[in-house]
Structure 1
Amino acid sequence: MTAFSSSLRGKGRRAVAAAGAVSLGLLVLSACDQPTPRATVTVGQDSVTAEASCYEDGKTIGDLTSKQKAEQAKFEKCMTAKPDQTITVHPGDKVRLGVEPDMAEQGWIAMANGMPVTSLSKQTYASVEGDRVFYNQQSQQMADSATISIMTSKGGKYTGVWNIKLERAAS
């Protein structure tokens, strides 16, 4: 009889330990930040995917035309955030931009160094001539690098910014 009761105690302890481990795992997962939607830039065979520089679960993060200085400053900080990802663009390459369906549903636009390179779109994909990304309209020269900022918009206000650095390959 003791062998039977001791084997029950062992199984009971294992069940309690397993339940505790599952509970702890769920607690750890609930404390993790949910990943932001991602934007992808593809050039030739290479692709990079970036998390948002600024994203607050679809809430407005601001814009440059706001009369509130704090909102302007917040948006400028998002636009100038250092990109985590870099991709090289060779002369004549197309730069393909991809966004997740939830981002496309809101509407999005891409800018290169603060200048629009796409119009507002509700598609999940857009393509831009690589040379256009590097052309600086003010100086009328080609830059060696550019930051593509993909921004989601809702009602004229921006809800997310994804920054990816593009480097121009030597001819």
Structure 2
Amino acid sequence: MTIRRSAAAVGAVALGLFALSACTKPTPLATVTVGSTSVHTEASCYNGGKALSDLSSCMNKAPDQTVTVHTTDKVHIGVDPAIADKGWVVVTATGQKTDILKKQTFYTFPNASALFIDQQTGQSSKTANLSIVEVSGKGGAAGVWNVKLELAD
């Protein structure tokens, strides 16, 4: 092998290693499915399994994904096994909608209308921001995935 080829090979390897070192590991995904429509989202906030310092700002971040639902639709939520191992809950602006789901990668709301009604006031809304919250080992939150639900006309 000539010196030029050797130098080019070493340069290509070094460039490849440099490019890989700049990559960040993607966050686990959460999926929301209604009928035949599925949306996948990465975390709005994720701290690698450690407690988040400001949960409310994470839950108030605008969702990247929107799903249209009818009140009688089933809303299916799926999470990465990494989320399920720690435990997770589903929350909307009107309150917590599930108990802690431990080791479960899937949950179904049999009637979507419950996600749009404020349990304290009885008022319903045309939209609901659904937050999937990963529980940290110390009782806080380690990650938040947000999806917007819109009621169909």
For the criterion TM > 0.5, the same-fold answer is yes
**Which stretches in structure 1 are left out of the alignment for 5+ residues?**
1-7, 63-73
Deviates more, 1:143-152 or 1:114-123: 114-123
Partner AA of 1:127 in structure 2: T
**Aligned residue in 2 for 1:125:** 106
Following the alignment from structure 2 to structure 1, what is the Cα–Cα distance between the partners of residues 94 and 144?
Answer: 12
Question: Could you list the per-position Cα deviations for residues 109-166 of structure 1 after superposition, in whole angstroms to 9, with x for gaps in the alignment?
Answer: 0012241111111100000121111112233122110011001112311111111111
**Aligned residue in 1 for 2:146:** 163
**Which stretches in structure 2 are left out of the alignment for 5+ residues?**
none
**Aligned residue in 2 for 1:139:** 121
Q: How many residues matched?
A: 150
Task: Trace 1:44-63 onto structure 2 (pairs within 5 A).
Answer: 44-62=35-53
Overall identity of the aligned pairs, in %: 47
* Alignment root-mean-square deviation, CA: 1.4
**Aligned residue in 1 for 2:28:** 37
Following the alignment from structure 1 to structure 2, what is the Cα–Cα distance between the partners of residues 42 and 146?
Answer: 15
Question: Could you list the per-position Cα deviations for residues 11-31 of structure 1 after superposition, in whole angstroms to 9, with x for gaps in the alignment?
Answer: x42342133122212211211
**Aligned residue in 2 for 1:75:** 55
**Which one has more relative contact order, counting CA pairs under 8 Å at least 6 apart?**
2
Moved >3 Å (runs of 4+): none
Following the alignment from structure 2 to structure 1, what is the Cα–Cα distance between the partners of residues 82 and 62?
Answer: 24
Q: Is 1:152 paired with 2:134?
A: yes
Q: Is the 8 A contact 2:51 2:138 kept in 1?
A: no
Question: Could you list the per-position Cα deviations for residues 58-95 of structure 1 after superposition, in whole angstroms to 9, with x for gaps in the alignment?
Answer: 11114xxxxxxxxxxx2111110111111111231011
Radius of gyration: which is bigger? 1
Deviates more, 1:119-128 or 1:17-26: 17-26
Following the alignment from structure 1 to structure 2, what is the Cα–Cα distance between the partners of residues 91 and 18?
Answer: 60
